[in-house]
A = this chain, B = another copy of it.
Amino acid sequence: MTDRNRMTMQDLARLAGVSKMTVSRALRDSSLVSEDVRKRIKSLAREHGYRINVAARDLRLQRRKTIAVVVEMSPTDERPMSEPYPLALLGGIAQELAAADYAMLVKVSGKITDDEVYGSDGVILLGQGAHEDAAEQLGRMGVPLVVWGSPTRAHQYVVVGSDNRHGGQLAAQQLLGAGRRRLVFLGDTDHSELSDRLEGFRPEVDRDGAELVAVEPCDFTSASAFEATGRLLRRGVEFDGVFACNDLAAAGAINALNATGRRVPSAVSVVGYDDAPMAAAYVPAITTIRQNWHSGGRLLARKILQLIRGETPASEALPTSLISRST
C-alpha cells in the first residue's frame, strides 16, 4: 500500500469499507454487486492506481493465457539487421491471440529452455531446423507446439507455412511462360522451405523440356545474390531465367546481370519471393511470389489454440500467388 509495495485488493477494500471479495467482484463487473458500489470501487481503484496482481489471479484461476513465440534470430551489434520474419507475422499471431484473450510472450533467440517458455500454455516456433531438438523436447513435455516452416514434410508437430512447393511451381510457370529455357535457382536448399520450392520448381521445368542449369547457394541478402550470380557467370554458365530466394536476392541478381551487360527482362527473366515492399519499388519492378505473412501468423495462432483446446489440427500450407511485374 505504500509507494514501494503495490496496493492489493485488501487495501482497496479497506478504503472502500467493503470486503475484498466485493472489490474483486466489482472490478470484474460482476452483476452481484450494486451499481453504486461498483462505481465507487472502480473510481477508487483508478484514483489510487490499483493494478491487479496477475500472478495471483492466474494461480487461483489455474490459467496463464499466454503463448510463447520463439523467434530464431541472431541479433548482434555488428550484424544488427538479420530480419528473418516481418513483423506482420507476429502481428497476425498477436491479433488472433488477442481475440482469444491470450497474451504473446516473445522470446528472441537464446535457448528455449526457459521457465517462461515452459510456463506458457503453448509455444509457437518461428524457424524450423534450428530448434529440431528443442521442438522434440517440448513435445515430450506435453507443451502444445506449432512451428512455422515447411508444412509439406511430415513431423510429429504441427507445421504452418506458405505453400513453397506451389510457389516454386508458379515461379517455373512464369519463367517458362516468358519463353525461358535455361533456368537457375538461387538459394540454399539446406533451408527446408527453399528445398520445397525447388521441389515444386524442378518438375515443372522438366515437364516443359526446359533445363535447370544450376542451383546456386545464396542467402537472403542482395550482396550474396550478387556474388552468387557473379560466380555462375564467371563459371560460364549460360542461363536466361532466375528464381531467387527472396526479392532482395532478386535485386542482387539483376544488378549482377546488368553489370555484365545482360538486360532484365529482355535477356534474362527474374522471379523473386515474398513480395516485399521493395519489390514494387525496384526498377525494373520485380515479379515475385507473394506469401501472406499476416494470415500465416493468424493461422499459427489458431492452430495453437486448437491444440490447447485438445483438438488435433493438421499441418497446413498457405496459398501463394504470383505477382507479375516487369522482370
**Chain A residues within CB distance 8 Å of chain B:** 3, 49, 51-59, 64-66, 69, 71, 73, 75-77, 80-88, 90-92, 94-95, 98, 103-110, 115-116, 118-119, 140-143, 221-223, 248, 251-252, 255, 258, 276-278, 280-283, 292-295
Q: Contacts of A276 on B, CB cut-off 8 Å? A: 278
- Within the complex, what minimum Cβ distance (angstroms) separates A63 from chain B? 8
Could you pull out 5 A-B pairs where Cβ atoms are within 8 angstroms?
A3-B142, A80-B294, A90-B90, A248-B277, A248-B278
| Copies of this subunit | 2
Whether the Cβ atoms of B73 and A91 lie closer than 8 Å is: yes
Q: Which residue of B lies closest to A283 (CB)?
A: B255
Q: Contacts of A251 on B, CB cut-off 8 Å? A: 278, 281-282
Whether the Cβ atoms of A108 and B90 lie closer than 8 Å is: yes
- Within the complex, what minimum Cβ distance (angstroms) separates A270 from chain B? 13
Whether the Cβ atoms of A87 and B88 lie closer than 8 Å is: no
Whether the Cβ atoms of B107 and A91 lie closer than 8 Å is: no
Q: Which of B108, B109, B223, B277 contacts A83 (CB 8 A)?
A: B277
- Within the complex, what minimum Cβ distance (angstroms) separates A266 from chain B? 16
- Within the complex, what minimum Cβ distance (angstroms) separates A269 from chain B? 18
Q: Contacts of A283 on B, CB cut-off 8 Å? A: 255, 258, 283
Whether the Cβ atoms of B278 and A119 lie closer than 8 Å is: no
Q: Which of B76, B92, B223, B280 contacts A280 (CB 8 A)?
A: B223
Give the one of A56, A87, A90, A110 with max B CB within 10 A. A87
Q: Which of B57, B80, B221 contacts A292 (CB 8 A)?
A: B80
Q: Other than the known A87-B90, A90-B108, what 5 A-B pairs have Cβ atoms closer than 8 Å?
A: A71-B91, A83-B277, A104-B107, A104-B108, A251-B282
Whether the Cβ atoms of B49 and A55 lie closer than 8 Å is: no
- Alpha-carbon separation in the docked complex, A113 to B242 (Å): 49
Closest 9 CB pairs of A and B: A80-B294, A54-B119, A222-B281, A75-B91, A94-B108, A278-B278, A55-B58, A49-B141, A55-B59
